[in-house]
């Protein structure tokens, strides 16, 4: 007889809402993260910030830069913690080649948009992105407001 496992409402750990505002997000990739034990404990406690993170590629490997994982006092008494160290991302060779090609040839940036749980692993959602200029950001805000107004009008007509 199988037991029903209670699922969390969401597996999201942290979001980078600023990335959607500053970039046109195109291709999405899912990457694992190489973490230490104290980092995993801090992530379970929700002490992670991915607001200004990006991905660099060095020597054929991808690294997450700018992610801050605040150490817990009780978990880090015997370990030297580096809250903002570069963390290695776990990607397939084909995915790394695609990211390197788009970055080098087409001028894309690689930004992270979300960190979430997938079973017992921490995963990072990264996107190939093109930067927006200030007038593009205003257009996005204007379109979003117009869509909201249309929805209100249609709601009252129905």
Query: What's the average model confidence in pLDDT over 121-142?
Result: 85
- Closest by CA to 88, choosing from 110, 109, 118, 58, is 58
Q: How far, in Å, CA of 96 to CA of 114, rounded? A: 19
Element (H, E) at 27: strand 23-33
Distance CA 133, CA 141 (A): 13
CA separation for the pair 101, 149 (Å, rounded): 41
Q: For residue range 67-113, list pLDDT tens digits in order.
A: 999 888 776 567 778 888 899 999 999 999 999 988 888 888 899 99
Which domains, ranges and CATH numbers included, belong to the chain?
12-132 (2.40.280.10)
Q: Model confidence over 28-62: pLDDT tens digits?
A: 999 999 998 888 888 998 899 999 898 999 998 99
Which of these, 153, 138, 148, 126, lies nearest to 62 by C-alpha position? 126
């Amino acid at each position: 007889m199988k037991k029903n496992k209670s699922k969390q409402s969401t597996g999201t750990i942290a979001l980078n809402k600023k990335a959607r505002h500053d970039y046109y997000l195109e291709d999405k990739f899912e990457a694992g993260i190489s973490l230490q034990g104290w980092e995993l404990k801090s992530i379970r406690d929700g002490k992670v910030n991915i607001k200004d993170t990006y991905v660099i590629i060095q020597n054929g490997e991808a690294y997450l830069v700018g992610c801050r994982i605040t150490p817990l006092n009780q978990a880090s008494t015997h370990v030297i913690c580096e809250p903002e160290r570069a963390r290695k991302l776990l990607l397939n060779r084909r995915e790394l080649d695609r990211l390197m090609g788009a970055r080098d040839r087409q001028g894309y940036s690689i930004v992270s948009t979300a960190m979430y749980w997938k079973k017992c692993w921490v995963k990072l959602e990264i996107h190939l992105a093109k930067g927006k200029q200030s007038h593009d950001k205003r257009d996005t805000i204007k379109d979003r407001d117009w869509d909201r107004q249309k929805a209100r009008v249609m709601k009252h007509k129905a």
